[in-house]
Amino acid sequence: MNDSPSEPLADPVRRLVAEAWTFRRQVELDAALRFARLTEQLAQLGAPEALVSLAQRAAEDERRHAGMCELLARTYGQVDMPPVPLAVEEVAPPGMGFRERVLYEVVAACCITETESTAVLTTLLVPDATPRVRAVLRDILRDEVAHARLGWAWLAREHAEGAVAFLAGHVPSMLEGSVSPRLFAAGGPEEESPALMKHGVLPHTRKRETFVRALRDVVFPGLERFGVNTGPGRSWVERRSAAGA
């Protein structure tokens, strides 16, 4: 199996692949900063040492992932890279107390984003993916599973304290912040190319289907298990799906 993207690949598709890996680099760099901050915040809240260590390790993982994504992006022809971010904003709305802000960010970053990432990466591990891409996907997937577990573990701990019900009304905002504004719009012909899969990118429709399925099968049941009403989140999915249709 050819390990190089120099095999026949239409220029528009190659460009999409390069852009996707470049975008992932930025997402991973942002996540590294977010996990570094969460490491300190969880320690301040008296989180178990195992969870604090997991957050610290996650920050290191994400920096390593960014490097792998950059190498792949350059392999597919990306020349210029966006600047490395120096800070990342908190996603919790203003007015929340410190403990609530941390829980909001952990749920948004881990229970939703990292769980969704796990679903995407699992879907992308197709047998005919190029060996180099497949190796990177496997490496990132292994870590993303651990990052998602961090979120579910902290949510479970906070649920035991009875302090999670407030999240219900914020789930739609978390979902909105986790997806591209175009996810529920129609994709162009090149965005639906089956060739994307073997280079680590989901075709547009498949990406939307994977996102919605992961919410319905994993994220929403998980949130409900720990006392978070997912009615507002499920309504958000229905509205966005209907608008896209």
Q: Is residue 36 part of a domain?
A: yes
Give per-residue pLDDT as tens, 54-86. 999 999 999 999 999 999 999 999 999 999 999
Residue 2 within any structural domain of the chain = no
Tokens of 179: 């997806």
For residue 80, tell me if it sits in a domain: yes
Domain that holds residue 83: 11-244
CA angle 17, 184, 219 (to 5 degrees): 90
Chain centre to alpha carbon of residue 217 = 16
Please tell me the distance from the alpha carbon of residue 180 to that of residue 182, in angstroms, as a whole number. Answer: 5
Q: What is the pTM of this model?
A: 0.93
DSSP helix/strand/coil, 206: helix
> Given this model, what pLDDT does residue 3 score?
46
Q: Is residue 47 part of a domain?
A: yes
Residues of the chain with pLDDT > 70: what percent? 96
25 close to 73: Cβ distance less than 8 angstroms: yes
Of 115-119, 154-158, 178-182, 240-244, the least confident? 240-244
User: Is the pLDDT score of 23 beyond 80?
Assistant: yes
pLDDT of 6 over the 70 cut? no
- Assess if residue 4 is contained within a domain: no
pLDDT of residue 9: 81
**Within a domain: 5:** no
Quick one: pLDDT at residue 7? 59
Could you tell me the CATH number of the domain that includes residue 76?
A: 1.20.1260.10
**Mean of pLDDT values over 31-36:** 98
Domain count, the chain: 1
pLDDT score, position 245: 62
Mean pLDDT of 88-93: 94
Closest by CA to 65, choosing from 146, 7, 11, is 146
Q: How far is CA 12 from the centre of its chain?
A: 25
Average pLDDT over residues 29-41: 98
- DSSP string covering 137-199, please? HHHHHHHHHHHHHHHHHHHHHHHHTT--GGGGGGHHHHHHHHS-TTTTSPPPGGGG-GGGGGG
Residues 214-226, mean pLDDT to the nearest whole number: 98
State whether residue 150 is helix, strand or coil.
helix
244: pLDDT strictly greater than 90:
no
Does 72 fall in a domain?
Answer: yes
Tokens of 46: 């008296």
Taking residue 77's Cβ as centre, other Cβ atoms within 10 Å add up to: 15
On whether residue 6 sits in a domain, the answer given is no
Nearest to 13 by CA among 186, 182, 197, 179: 197
Residue 138 has pLDDT above 90, yes or no: yes
Per residue in 103-114, pLDDT (tens digit) is 999 999 999 999
Number of residues assigned to the chain: 245
